[in-house]
């Protein structure tokens, strides 16, 4: 398979994630979309590493970092969701609009 196939796949996943980010009301839906986008980034790292710099490990290590980051971020997100829930009694992002001008 060529590099373009991987890149297109990751772009499609990224766009799905972007769509979800803008469409979901529930904050958990947002988190799922973020994970999708991170996943797309991981695929890109792996593909570039394999096709352009074979024999090195930089891309793979970046992917490891992404995975670790996603785990940490999910935990952080959990804390934020709790805080928002306690304040607004809801995790609907449309309700969280204190910055309205």
Partner 1 sequence: MQIQLGIATVLSPILSFVLIAAVGLRRPTVAKIISLTAATVSLVCASMLLLGVNDPAFKIQATWSWLMDDPSKFTIGLLLDPLSLVMLFVVSIISWLVQWYSLSYMEEDARQGKFFAFISLFCFAMMGFTIAPNLLQSFMCWELVGLGSYLLIGFWNHLPSAATAARKAFIVTRLGDVGFFIALLLAWTGLGTLDFGAMAGDAMSATWKAAIGGSDYGVWISIALFLAVAGKSAQFPLYAWLPDAMEGPTPVSALIHAATMVAAGVYLLARMSFVLVLGSEAAIMAWHGLAVIAMITALMSGAVAIVQSDIKRVFAYSTISQLGYMIVGIGTGAVAAGMMHLFTHAFFKALLFLTAGAFIHAAHSNSITDIARAGGAKLKLPMMALFVGSMALMGFFPFAGFYSKDAILEHLFVEGDWILFGMALLGVFITAYYTSRVIYLMLKVPAEPHQGHGDEHGHGHGLHLGSWMKLPLGFLAFASLVAGNVWLWKAHNWFVIPEAEHGNAALITALVSTAIAAAGAFYSARVFYWRTSADPMASMTGFATLLREKWYLDDAYWAIVHNFYLPITAFLQKVETIIVKGALDGIGTVSMTFARGFARAQTGEVQHYLGMSFVVVAAVVLILMSR
Partner 2 sequence: MSEFLFIAGAALAIVGGLLAVVARNLFHASLGLAMTLTGTAGLFIPLAGELIAVVQILVYLGATAISIIFILMLSPPFYLKRPNRNAMKVVGAIGVVLIFAVPLMRAVMSVSASDPLNHVAPTVNQIGRALLTEFVFPLKLFPFS
Residues that bind partner 1 (CB under 8 A): 18, 21-23, 93-94, 96-101
In angstroms, rounded to a whole number, what is the distance separating the alpha carbons of residues 96 and 85? 10
**Of 57, 83, 87, 96, which one interacts with partner 2 (CB under 8 A)?**
57
In angstroms, rounded to a whole number, what is the distance separating the alpha carbons of residues 22 and 74? 19
Helix (H, G, I), strand (E, B) or coil at 76: helix
In angstroms, rounded to a whole number, what is the distance separating the alpha carbons of residues 44 and 53? 13
Our finding on whether 75 is near partner 2 (CB under 8 A) is yes
- DSSP structural state of residue 99: T
- The residue ranges that bind partner 2 (CB under 8 A) are 1-9, 11-20, 22-26, 28-29, 31-33, 35-36, 39, 42-43, 46-47, 49-52, 54-58, 60-61, 63-65, 67-72, 74-75, 77-78, 81-82, 85, 91
């Amino acid at each position: 398979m060529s590099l373009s196939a991987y890149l297109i796949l990751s772009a499609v996943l990224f766009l799905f994630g972007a769509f979800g980010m803008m469409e979901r009301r529930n904050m958990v839906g947002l988190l799922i979309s973020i994970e999708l986008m991170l996943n797309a980034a991981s695929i890109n790292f792996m593909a570039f590493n394999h096709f352009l710099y074979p024999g090195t490990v930089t891309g793979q290590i970046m992917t490891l970092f992404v995975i670790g980051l996603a785990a940490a971020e999910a935990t952080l997100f959990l804390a934020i969701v709790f805080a928002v829930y306690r304040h607004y009694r809801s995790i609907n992002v449309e309700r969280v609009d204190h910055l309205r001008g």
